[in-house]
Amino acid sequence: MSNVIVTNRPFEPRDWPADVEVEEVRGPSIPLRRVPLLGPVLDLTANAVAALKLLRASRRAGAAAVVSLGRRSGWLLCFVRSWLPDRGTVVAYMALFGENPSCPRLSRWLTRRVGLGADVVVVFSRSQIDAYHRAFGIPREKLVFVPYKANHSRSPSPELPEGGFIFSGGNSERDYATLFAAVDGLPVAVVVSRTDHSLTRGLRTPENVLVLCAQEPAYERLMAMSRFVVICIRRGVCRGAGEASFLNAMWHGKAVVAADDVSAADYIGEGIDGYTVPAGDAAALRRRILELWNDPVRARAMGEAGRAKVEAGLTHRAFEQRLLNLAVHAAAQHPHGDAPSARLAEGATP
């Protein structure tokens, strides 16, 4: 019987094996939340309809759902499914909610229910398996590490001259206070791009730092023109962040220096394609930045090693293939509601 994969986000068209069929269940095509007064209600209703379509499709024989929790239809599907008798197969990916400081009990409860509603919850670092289990009580056997992807690998890296600056960017769980402390007073030009202004609000910007609000494709071009890339993630976070930025930098042939305690170690080969220092450690970050800045030959060699790593299996295309393979294997082990095997994790990483 054919394997049917239903999803709430598009997978790029390609020649799949004859026994795999991919169906997309679309959510709202316009930003309904922006509609005055009734926007949130309309958006929730449209996504609930999409979630029910996903639920019905995933319960067919030989079918499995691969859903992004970054879309409301994905977490609504998992939330509803957590209350229903186990049937069908759902593989969920992208970060779970985590804890919202304004309503921690509710957010923890919602995260747990969403996690329980999936058969496989894909996480993007090994440390998140224990973190989600401890924080939200999601069974370890549901949590599977699948490496993330270089989002920029959908198109060739732009061929641009190298600029005399290092680059840092992104919004998710970023710690620009540590970055600013690390580079303050250095003979190094730093370009920072974030679209969430609250991340730098109230911080003193060093004279050698330029803060921008660049979006794609300008963001990609800045990264590709830099000498190397620095990414700082906050201390004490449960979910991973920065994985796409690490890999995008490597795609552009840039060494990566990361201040992070969650995901960086799973992506950065220490001394091979970059360096990792503890989150919040501005002194250690400063040393690594100076080390690479003063040795451009080594920085370029690290960048070349990172590019080769991404090409070998961390592209957008490779990530999609891993997700679909995981769903096919999960469905094969879960035909009648039995829990999928924890051995799925063994074949999830490249």
**Is 160 within 8 Å of 224 (Cβ atoms)?**
yes
pLDDT of 348:
44
pLDDT of 97:
60
Range list of β-strands (E), 155-303:
166-169, 190-193, 209-212, 229-232, 256-259, 274-277
- For 3-149+316-347, CATH gives 3.40.50.2000
**Is 203 within 8 Å of 211 (Cβ atoms)?**
no
pLDDT of 103:
61
* Total length of the chain: 350
Pairing of strands 143-145, 90-93: unpaired
In the chain, which stretches have pLDDT less than 70?
1-2, 13-17, 29-30, 32-33, 95-103, 334-350
Return d(Cα 140, Cα 127) in angstroms, integer: 11
pLDDT of 318:
93
Angle (CA) 206-212-217 rounded to 5° is: 145
Name all contacts of 68-72 with Cβ < 8 Å and 24+ positions apart.
Answer: 68/7, 68/8, 68/9, 68/92, 68/93, 68/94, 69/93, 69/94, 69/95, 69/96, 69/114, 70/94, 70/95, 71/8, 71/9, 71/27, 71/47, 72/27, 72/43, 72/44, 72/47
Domain ranges for the chain: 3-149+316-347, 151-311
Determine the topology of domain 151-311 in CATH: Rossmann fold (3.40.50)
DSSP SS3 for 63: strand
pLDDT of 168:
98
Same topology for domains 3-149+316-347 and 151-311, yes or no? Answer: yes
Return d(Cα 262, Cα 61) in angstroms, integer: 38
pLDDT of 347:
39
* 230 DSSP β-pair partners: 257
Residue 279: phi and psi, rounded to 5, are: -55, 135
Q: Classify burial at 130, counting beta carbons within 10 Å of its beta carbon; exposed 0-12, middle 13-18, buried 19 or more.
A: exposed
pLDDT of 87:
75
Structure tokens at 185: 């007073």
Rg of the chain taking only CA atoms, in angstroms: 21
**Each residue of 318-337: pLDDT tens digit?**
998 898 888 888 887 765 44
